Structure 1
Amino acid sequence: MKKGTITGILLAALSPVCLLALGTGQVPVPLTHLIGGNLTPLEQNVLWNLRLPRLLLGLGTGAALSASGAGLQGLFGNPLADPGILGVSGGASLGAVLLLLTGLPAVNYLFLPLGAFAGAALASFLVGLLGRGEDSNERVRLLLAGVAVSLFCGALTAGLLSFAPDAVMRQYFFWTLGNLGVGTWQQAAILLPLLLMVLIVLCLWGRPLNLLSLGEEQALSLGLDAPHWRKLVMGWISLLMGLAVCAGGNIGFVGLIIPHMLRLLTGPDHRSLLPLSALGGALFLVLCDSLGRALLPGGEIRVGIVTALFGAPYFLWLLRRRG
């Protein structure tokens, strides 16, 4: 399928998905009110203070998760690569919880994404170190190393929380299942400009990722400083994942489903795959968040649970299909 056609379909779906997200929840806002502008004071308050920041953070988080997955799949040459499966999300959550225990985010909110970035970077380094090798089993080792690092980060986080006050425990519950409902305009104003800048730079690195996906020796023979670019892209994705975790929590499988499906439709060229993955991931996460509110009237199913319900069967099918 042509890239222009896929782009048109995704852009055409943007408005309906955003309207669904704005109108769905404990206080339903009818479509006629959204389009006509004849909102009640309660609807105006809900839209402005709750739904709009939630929508913006959902779009940004979904774009970051999906583009990170596309970048990791190209970097490791592995269609099973995903920020959650490779332990990057778990490392970001661990870093964020460590900062919460110190109390520094209460002084300045920017400490939280810095901690999440440090955790994601450390997890990425460990996965790369444990999964290194030159034989045909490297992809399997990377996958197993990612699972091990993810479990280790989860266990270490749980151990730290044994000494945490109740306030930190409640915030950790947010990171565990993913939740866009606690987003505020303050968070959106701080995180979204940073996230957008990092995302745009990653999308401009399509050509180096194309060469890295061929293998390190092939990339070197084509004139690319493969070790330098591998470290640079991995660090940049860690930064993007740190921002995404701060915005939406530990949400899995978005970076696996969307890039892999788009690669099947448009091909492996990262110059178009990265921006398309960002757009597709934004739409997918907002749709999952809306479904979580629509399926449980009077409450909501956390968005991380909804993405896992889609992603876990897809991952198992993909694993089986590739032997």
Structure 2
Amino acid sequence: MLLLAASIIISLSIGSSGLPLSDVWGILIHQLPWMDGGEGKWDPSSIAIVTELRLSRVLLAVLVGACLSLAGAGFQGVLRNPLADPFTLGVASGCSVGAAFLILFGFQTVIGIWSVPVVAFVTGIGALVIVFALARARGVMNIETLILSGVIVQAFLGAFVTFMVSLSQGVVNEIMFWLLGSLSARGWDHAGVVLPFLLVGFPILLRYAQPLNLFVFGERHAAHMGIHVERTKLIVLITATLLTAVAVSISGVVGFVGLVVPHMLRLMVGPDYRLLIPLSAIGGGIYLLWADTLARMALSPKEISLGVITALIGAPFFAYLLYRRKVLQGGSPS
């Protein structure tokens, strides 16, 4: 929590606008309910930069990061595999298909700001069902086959999104946003969309932390210990998909957060999901906040896509996990 607080303070303090540190924190302090808002001390554009752009983006990065990391922890717990996350299983690509479809045909405001999250959830669930159907053979679902099925579905749905980009004209830039991932041009309304999903999804996953601990010993052992295995898997997977859908609908495709953060925490604090789930929420917020800060400051005033930053960090980490898994299973490192 201290690291999260320090990360928020540092991220709020820096930006491409060049506002002095004293002005930034003076404006923030004057936003407290008992203060005057600071309208007479700073010009309106400076106040808007700090409160409407920087503060909302910092908090949104924390919320989106928490959702993606919690989703990754949920997938890894149910599937008993540290390589599982919403992106390697194709769920995020499924969510992107729904978002791109709405944007292409101009339906993204049919039910207001909730249109994209709802459709993204439906298409994400559809992608998950397809992955499970491909991976299951004679009632058995091999983990390696599951990961391979996820990669196949992800590639296919990614191609489908690219096809929709080729069909689009006036909205091509808006669809490309989903492919690259970004938190730019996002504000308080979008944070208000993510927060309810997080407030619902987090306690559900925390409620199933102990059953996920028992899953480590296998589904049959968990059933003997009194766990309703199929119900637990269904609830956790739906919750993780819901968290992924709302995150992707707001930020676009930001990969590897759900893979990197839970696994790093598992190495630090052990495999107990009673610790992993709350720490994944905090760690995911920290991770994505720093990634977004790097995205907007590395080439300031030009901004790098957030998905590029997380991929540059996550892809080598994913390769390391594959290498480590191969060595532990007795294979040749070469």
2:200 pairs with one of 193, 197, 200: 197
Note the 1:274-313 alignment, pairs <5 A. 274-313=277-316
Shift of 1:148: 0.4
Alignment-mate amino acid for residue 66 of structure 1: S
1:14 and 1:34 mapped to 2: Cα distance? 19
> Which residue in the other structure is 1:113 paired with?
117
Note the 1:45-60 alignment, pairs <5 A. 45-60=48-63
Question: Identity, % of aligned pairs?
Answer: 39
Shift of 1:274: 0.6
Question: Equivalent residue of 1:109, what SS?
Answer: helix
| Of 294-303 and 146-155, the range deviating more from structure 2 | 294-303
1:131 pairs with one of 120, 128, 135: 135
Q: TM-score, normalised by structure 1?
A: 0.91
Residues 223/50 of structure 1: CA separation in 2 closer, same or farther (3 Å cut):
same
Note the 1:61-100 alignment, pairs <5 A. 61-100=64-103
2:127 and 2:10 mapped to 1: Cα distance? 36
Task: Work out whether residues 4 and 285 of structure 2, in 8 Å CA contact, stay in contact via their aligned partners in 1.
Answer: no
1:84 and 1:153 mapped to 2: Cα distance? 11
1:157 pairs with one of 137, 155, 161: 161
Alignment-mate amino acid for residue 67 of structure 2: A
Shift of 1:135: 10
Q: TM-score, normalised by structure 2?
A: 0.88
1:194 and 1:83 mapped to 2: Cα distance? 16
Task: Work out whether residues 71 and 243 of structure 2, in 8 Å CA contact, stay in contact via their aligned partners in 1.
Answer: yes
Task: Work out whether residues 19 and 31 of structure 1, in 8 Å CA contact, stay in contact via their aligned partners in 2.
Answer: no
| Of 27-36 and 158-167, the range deviating more from structure 2 | 27-36
Task: Work out whether residues 63 and 278 of structure 1, in 8 Å CA contact, stay in contact via their aligned partners in 2.
Answer: yes
Task: Work out whether residues 17 and 283 of structure 1, in 8 Å CA contact, stay in contact via their aligned partners in 2.
Answer: yes
Gaps of 5+ in 1: 1-10
Residues 283/134 of structure 1: CA separation in 2 closer, same or farther (3 Å cut):
farther
Shift of 1:291: 1.0
1:29 and 1:12 mapped to 2: Cα distance? 25
Q: Greater relative contact order (Cα 8 A, min sep 6): structure 1 or 2?
A: 1
2:226 pairs with one of 186, 210, 223: 223
Shift of 1:212: 2.8
Task: Work out whether residues 17 and 286 of structure 1, in 8 Å CA contact, stay in contact via their aligned partners in 2.
Answer: yes
1:223 and 1:193 mapped to 2: Cα distance? 31
Does residue 270 of structure 1 match 2:273?
yes
Does residue 176 of structure 1 match 2:166?
no
Alignment-mate amino acid for residue 284 of structure 1: Y
Task: Work out whether residues 202 and 236 of structure 1, in 8 Å CA contact, stay in contact via their aligned partners in 2.
Answer: yes
| Of 257-266 and 192-201, the range deviating more from structure 2 | 192-201
Alignment-mate amino acid for residue 121 of structure 2: F
Question: Equivalent residue of 1:85, what SS?
Answer: coil
CA offset digits 1:227-251 (Å, max 9, x no partner): 1221221111111111111121110
Task: Work out whether residues 64 and 194 of structure 2, in 8 Å CA contact, stay in contact via their aligned partners in 1.
Answer: no
2:279 and 2:191 mapped to 1: Cα distance? 23
